[in-house]
Chains A and B, each alone.
Chain A
Amino acid sequence: MQDATSDERLRPGAGEELVFDATPTLAHKPTHYCPGCHHGIAHRLVSEVLDELGLAERAILVASVGCSAFSYDYFNVDAVESPHGRACAVATGIRRARPESIVFTYQGDGDMAAIGLAESVHAANRGENITAVFINNTVYGMTGGQMAPTTLLGQKTTTTPLGRHLLGEGGPIHMSEIMGGLAGVAYAERCALDSVKHIRQAKKALRTAFSCQMQGLGFSFVELLAGCPTNWHLDPLKANRRISEEMIPVFPLGVFRDVREERKQSEVQA
């Protein structure tokens, strides 16, 4: 690693200000993720939001299984590794036992939308006061590119070599829409990580989700459309383009639930 203290270039010179650097909650170690993987961006956004809201000291991460299994290594917050898919159930326990803490899960699509669908949906429906960060890259990344519940129709994976077919394997599952329809959910938004504009929006969504938890409004959910260049067999730039060209038409971006807005409107009407 480069030693930041010994290199003049890494410090602001006369008349300069440092406008972008790693935030303290993001551990300063290289990640194991593949080149162009968007997990790194999601990690950074979550860390920045925790630092900006001053939550890092009382935040507890519930890590999942998948490529994000090692996410506890990359956040400088307390963390619990949960069994596959059970992050929302573990987070429920932690949040109820330690109500002063800020609890968030970080899960991929195989973890949250497949094996852990029951735990996630029921935690959301109970209105557990936790935040779930859901990474949707339409594929099982760590195990080598098998079909996930979010895999697009026609997409080739190692378990759908002819492309996913609606009558054989079903269609892509829309988690934000499902979450947005549940009574206990305070906030549900889908964002993408493919462009600077979308990344800024994603950070705003994460900030709203964590502030909903701070206010005790219920379950907050942010879905992030992310790229997996390795298992899509594309280079990172083409993978980015695939998000905007193929994923966003199927998974439209936007807010699917915001109880703060609903309350505001009911106040206006009353």
Chain B
Amino acid sequence: MSRIVFLEERCKGCRLCMEACPAQIIRPAGRFNRQGYEVMETEGRCTGCASCALMCPDTAIRVFRDKSGGKTA
């Protein structure tokens, strides 16, 4: 399964990734980083489309795609 990783100390909690995700698997984590911004977490099946990372103004998302299944994994 593909996955995304949040670089939590870069996150500013704007939630643009949440709206950009076509699979709607991103949600607020209820935790806060050192700057006091609420960070995000994922729950569900990531397709590795990288929409969230394209939308993120702070480059706080790294995307890893499953090679075996490609985009539709």
- Which A residues are closer than 8 A to B by beta carbons? 1-2, 9-10, 12-13, 15-22, 26, 30-31, 33-41, 44, 195-196, 199-200, 229, 236-237, 240
Contact = CB atoms under 8 A, between A and B. Distances in A.
Closest 5 CB pairs of A and B: A40-B57, A36-B14, A35-B12, A20-B63, A236-B14
Contacts of A22: 59
Interface string B47-68: 0101101111111011111111
Interface string B18-35: 011000000000000000
B5 A10 contact: yes
Contacts of A44: 59
A33 B64 contact: no
Given A237-B19, A240-B16, A20 B9 contact: no
Contact of A9 (B5, B12, B63, B68): B5
Contact of A15 (B5, B63, B68): B68
Q: How large is the interface on B (under 10, 10 to 19, 20 to 34, 35 or more residues)?
A: 20 to 34
B9 A196 contact: no
B8 interface: yes
Nearest to B34: A1
A31 B58 contact: yes
A54 B5 CA distance: 28
A250 to B, nearest CB: 22
A26 B48 contact: no
A1 B5 CA distance: 15
A20 B55 contact: no
B73 to A, nearest CB: 10
Nearest to A4: B7
A224 to B, nearest CB: 12
Nearest to B20: A196
Contacts of B48: 19
Nearest to B5: A9
A15 B67 contact: yes
Contacts of B59: 22, 26, 40, 44
Given A2-B8, A30-B10, A35-B12, A200 B54 contact: yes
Given A10-B5, A20-B53, 16 more contacts: A13-B64, A16-B3, A16-B65, A16-B66, A17-B67, A18-B62, A18-B64, A20-B54, A26-B59, A34-B12, A35-B12, A37-B57, A40-B57, A196-B20, A237-B19, A240-B16
Nearest to A203: B54
Given A2-B9, A30-B9, A19 B15 contact: no
